[in-house]
């Protein structure tokens, strides 16, 4: 990338070491560091010479002015984007920073991805803004140099701009014309002396210029040719008009016998020049007098209020709108009317379930009110906010899951070891079994949170779906007055799935069915082989599964059903037709996430009052991890010699559990807490002629070298190393595809010692198998 194409960044940071480290990071990421300074005064002196695209600004600086004050001055003097890079999160600081309109507000500590994304967006927005300004300036200079007259006015008809050519013809200077009404400054008539309309050409069928008589400030007439066009904002709303005209004859004195009609004093259907403009606007537009009474409504406004013009004219705005609108918006609109200032409000009309944006402009002794339907825009904003919340939830869930799964591993492991002490099940205290069941339920809640928030990459293995369904109902707590009918095909092919996630999917579907049959009823569960064409004709599919055979899990109830207008939204996060506090609207979202992550499809068929049928279709694709090919469910005999196992685990409680479990099988276990020690001990063992047979690596080591980086270094020493990766981050790609990263198998936390022992034996035995 050429230097001229790289984003230039000026760093303003009072901590020298932090600034230097940030500069090194930016250079490594491909940005050009234009300079580094510690005070706001120094930054103001340097920006003019360095010409950065983006300024990374700390709030607390070493000089007399802080970062926010520095940004205020920078924005006034230079075309530069400012991104705050700070640890300040208090409301006062954030409010002050917001007033400077920054391009970003990045909190420390931050990731390189967040830093890079903020810089890229800030630079792009700044360059687009500068391009827009140059574009506007070029138009302004072009208008100024035109020999034709140019007049710009807002939607209320107030003049905003007059170029020199127009000044000469009109007799009004730009200072005199600005703020006056268009009809006062640009008074036009046809050859017969009738007042003509200021009509945008793009709203007319005939776009040809018109020949008119213009009346100047000194009451002289000029034959002109004009063209008028409407101006729209980025959302398509009309915000003003531009008039382009040129004189065709010298100025003529008006004839005494043909006096000009006086300018109109109020809007009427026959004389107001703005009438045809506003009638052509697709958005509702009304004029109000000082008593909130309608003096004009266009056709779109009559449709919005569902009344004809005669019924609206003279009626009060507040008699037409619902009382809730007056309660929420009267004060703001009254202030706009009193102070003669424009205002924008977002109004919700409950009767139509629609959001509208209301813009007011001072007009005569009242207001001009332009109303635009923004329901689609509001729904999109709400959807984006929900996605942002999901992303935030995902970040929180991953950190929570890692630490909590470590604790659950210790709890589950020690409970399992306690169980093993009682050879006779009758002697085993029931509290141990109860505690173990609660621990497994806690594990399920954590995994459900991860699945919903981040998609939860499945850790697949070949299982019998029919056995999973049977086992589920053996432990499921039945709801009173609900009858369960389970029909499972016995010869089902095995499918490659994550058993924990499929149990969660089935649990959510059963819970939804139970809630739909709260007064009692029947729930039918079927599990059978089927094709997509047979099982899903004309149904609402979350995603087409394609052409393949598979296994279908169906849950059907005879409950209240789902209304047809709700079916298209059932997979949306937070959408629920239930009003109870426990209704989160997340159940089917989780199910859809699980279905997609398994390459399957979930479908819903429902009618109001006739019950609901939900089908989960999973392909028989054999897409299980290679670890399953090791027959993890089988029983193995360890090699005759004692195997040596090297363990990397930073949590001392989990590490102690691993060591105790493996030592019960007479394995020689060496433990480490950091990846560097693991690599060193592995290399030393090779040199001593006593290599390790297996390594068990924790994926994440805070403030140390984790399992993935450790595995890369170990494979450099021994390409055929046997390794098991374990982590509380069950949604990590390494856990979903361990073989792709060089591992032999994956063991998600929490787990019982027997699961660890079974997996270790299977991995060790795999090396003894002869190659085919």
Question: 727: closest CA among 404, 462, 395?
Answer: 404
Residue 434 belongs to some domain of the structure: no
pLDDT at 56: 93
Cβ burial of 754 (10 Å; 0-12, 13-18, 19+) is middle
Please name the residue ranges forming H helices in 203-298: 275-280
DSSP letter assigned to residue 316: B
750: pLDDT strictly greater than 60: yes
Domain assignment present for residue 748? The answer is: yes
Residues 217-257 have pLDDT tens digits of 998 989 998 888 777 766 666 778 888 888 886 544 444 43
State whether 579 and 716 are in the same domain: no
228: domain CATH number?
A: 3.30.450.20
Q: What is the CA radius of gyration of the chain?
A: 37
Task: Give the CATH number of the domain where residue 661 resides.
Answer: 3.40.50.2300
* Residue after which a domain boundary falls, among 276, 293, 314: 276
Residue 525 and residue 610 in one domain = yes
pLDDT of res. 150: 87
Residue 590 CA to residue 509 CA, distance in Å, equals: 10
Would you say residue 563 lies in a domain?
Answer: yes
Question: In sequence order, what are the residues at sequence separation of 6 or more whose Cβ sits closer than 8 angstroms to the Cβ of residue 9?
Answer: 26, 31, 32, 33, 34, 52, 53, 54, 55, 56, 119
> Does one domain contain both 157 and 132?
no
Whether the per-residue pLDDT at 549 is higher than 80: the answer is no
The mean pLDDT value of the chain amounts to 79
Lowest mean pLDDT among 49-58, 522-531, 534-543, 692-701: 534-543
Question: Could you give the CA distance from residue 319 to residue 24 in angstroms, rounded to a whole number?
Answer: 65
Residues 708-732 have pLDDT tens digits of: 889 999 999 999 999 999 887 666 7
Q: What is the CATH number of the domain that holds 489?
A: 3.30.565.10
Q: Which is more confident, 428 or 245? A: 245
Domain edge (last residue) among 320, 343, 373:
373
Residues 587 and 719 in one domain: no
Same domain flag for 233 and 306: no
Range of the domain at 177: 146-276
CB-neighbour burial class of residue 221 (10 A; exposed 0-12, middle 13-18, buried 19+): buried
Instruction: Please state the domain count of the chain.
Output: 5
480 plus 612 within the same structural domain: yes
Instruction: Decide which of 243, 276, 309 is a domain's last residue.
Output: 276
225 contacts 248 by C-beta, under 8 angstroms: yes
pLDDT at 267: 38
Do both 259 and 131 map to the same domain? no
Task: Count Cα neighbours of 502 within 13 Å in the Cβ-side half-sphere.
Answer: 32
The answer on 739 and 653 residing in a single domain is yes
Structural contact between residues 86 and 108, judged by C-beta atoms closer than 8 angstroms: yes
In sequence order, which residues have a C-beta less than 8 Å from that of residue 362 and are 6 or more positions away?
Answer: 156, 336, 340, 341, 342, 368
Tokens of 402: 């890692």
133 and 151 belong to one structural domain? no
DSSP 740: G
Hey, what are 379's tokens?
A: 């729904």
* pLDDT for the residue 770: 47
Whole-number pLDDT of residue 263: 40
Residues 239 and 300: their CA atoms lie apart, in Å, by 17
Q: Is 730 helix (H, G, I), strand (E, B) or coil?
A: coil
pTM of full prediction above 0.75? no
Residue 413 falls inside a structural domain? no
Model confidence at 89: pLDDT above 80? no
Among 560, 644, 657, 659, which Cα is nearest to 609's?
Answer: 560
Q: Is residue 12 part of a domain?
A: yes
Question: Within a domain: residue 318?
Answer: yes
Residues 571 and 594 in one domain: yes
pLDDT band at 657 (very low <50, low <70, confident <90, very high): confident
Looking at the structure, tell me whether residues 10 and 104 fall in a common domain.
yes
Does residue 410 belong to any structural domain of this protein?
Answer: no
231 & 354 share domain: no
**What would you measure as the largest C-alpha separation in the chain, in angstroms?**
125
CA distance 542 to 18: 48
DSSP E strands in 574-649: the ranges are 601-606, 612-619, 644-648
Residue 489 lies in a domain: yes
């Amino acid at each position: 990338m050429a230097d001229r194409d790289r984003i230039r960044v000026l760093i303003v940071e009072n901590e020298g070491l932090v600034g230097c480290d940030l500069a090194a990071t930016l250079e490594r990421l491909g940005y050009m560091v234009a300079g580094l300074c510690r005070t706001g005064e120094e930054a103001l002196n340097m920006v003019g010479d360095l010409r950065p695209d983006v300024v990374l600004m700390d709030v607390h600086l070493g000089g007399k002015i802080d970062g926010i004050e520095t940004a205020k001055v920078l924005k006034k003097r230079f075309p530069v984007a400012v991104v705050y890079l700070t640890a300040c999160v208090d409301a006062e600081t954030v409010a002050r920073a917001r007033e400077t309109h920054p391009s970003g507000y990045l909190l420390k500590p931050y990731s390189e991805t967040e830093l890079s994304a903020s810089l890229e967006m800030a630079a792009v927005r700044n360059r687009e803004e500068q391009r827009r300004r140059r574009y506007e300036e070029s138009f302004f200079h072009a208008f100024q140099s035109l020999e034709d007259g140019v007049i710009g006015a807002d939607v209320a008809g107030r003049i905003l701009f007059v170029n020199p050519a127009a000044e000469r013809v009109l007799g009004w200077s730009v200072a005199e014309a600005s703020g006056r009404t268009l009809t006062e400054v640009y008074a036009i008539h046809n050859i017969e002396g009738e007042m003509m309309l200021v009509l945008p050409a793009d709203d007319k069928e005939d776009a040809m210029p018109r020949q008119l008589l213009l009346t100047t400030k000194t009451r002289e007439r000029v034959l002109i040719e004009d063209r008028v066009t409407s101006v729209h904002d980025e959302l398509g709303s009309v915000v003003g008009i531009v008039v382009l005209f040129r004189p065709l004859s010298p100025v003529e004195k008006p004839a005494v016998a043909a006096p000009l009609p006086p300018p109109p004093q109020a809007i009427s259907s026959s004389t107001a020049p703005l009438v045809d403009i506003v009638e052509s606007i697709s958005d509702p537009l009304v004029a109000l007098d000082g008593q909130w009474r309608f003096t004009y409504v266009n056709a779109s406004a009559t449709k919005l209020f569902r009344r004809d013009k005669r019924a609206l004219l003279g009626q009060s705005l507040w008699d037409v709108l619902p009382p809730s609108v007056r309660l929420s918006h009267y004060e703001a609109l009254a202030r706009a009317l009193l102070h003669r200032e424009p205002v924008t409000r977002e109004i919700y009309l409950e009767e139509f379930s629609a959001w509208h944006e209301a813009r007011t402009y001072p007009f005569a002794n009242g207001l001009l009110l332009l109303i635009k339907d923004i329901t689609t825009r509001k729904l999109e904003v709400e959807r984006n906010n929900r996605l942002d919340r999901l992303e935030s939830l995902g970040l929180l869930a991953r950190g929570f899951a890692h630490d909590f799964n470590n604790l659950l591993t210790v709890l589950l492991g020690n409970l399992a070891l306690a169980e093993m002490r009682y050879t006779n099940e009758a002697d085993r205290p029931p509290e141990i079994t109860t505690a173990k069941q609660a621990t497994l339920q806690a594990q399920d809640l954590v995994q459900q949170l991860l699945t919903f928030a981040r998609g939860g990459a499945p850790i697949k293995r070949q299982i019998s779906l029919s056995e999973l369904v049977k086992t589920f109902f053996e432990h499921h707590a039945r709801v009173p007055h609900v009858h369960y009918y389970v029909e499972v095909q016995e010869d089902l092919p095995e499918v490659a799935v994550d058993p924990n996630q499929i149990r969660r999917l089935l649990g959510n579907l059963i819970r939804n069915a139970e809630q739909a049959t709260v007064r009692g009823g029947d729930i039918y569960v079927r599990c059978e082989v089927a094709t997509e064409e047979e099982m899903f004709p004309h149904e609402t599919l979350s995603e087409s599964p394609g052409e393949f055979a598979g296994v279908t899990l169906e849950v059907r109830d005879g409950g209240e059903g789902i209304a047809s207008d709700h079916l298209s939204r059932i997979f949306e996060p937070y959408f629920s037709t239930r009003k109870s506090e426990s209704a989160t609207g997340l159940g089917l979202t989780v199910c859809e996430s699980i279905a997609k992550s398994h390459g399957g499809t979930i479908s819903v068929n429902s009618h109001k009052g006739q019950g609901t049928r939900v089908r989960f279709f999973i392909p028989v694709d054999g897409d299980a991890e290679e670890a399953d090919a090791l027959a993890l469910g089988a029983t193995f005999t360890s090699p005759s010699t004692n195997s040596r196992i090297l363990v990397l685990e930073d949590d001392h409680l989990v590490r102690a559990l691993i060591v105790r479990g493996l030592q019960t099988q007479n394995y020689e276990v060496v433990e480490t807490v950091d990846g560097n020690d693991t690599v060193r001990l592995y290399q030393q063992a090779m040199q001593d002629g006593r290599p390790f047979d297996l390594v068990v690596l924790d994926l994440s080591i805070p403030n140390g070298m984790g399992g993935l980086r450790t595995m890369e270094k170990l494979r450099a020493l021994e390409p055929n190393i046997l390794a098991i990766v374990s982590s509380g981050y069950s949604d990590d790609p390494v856990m979903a595809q361990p073989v792709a990263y060089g591992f032999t198998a994956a063991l998600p936390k929490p787990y019982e010692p027997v699961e660890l022992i079974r997996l270790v034996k299977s991995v060790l035995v795999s090396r003894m198998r002869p190659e085919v």
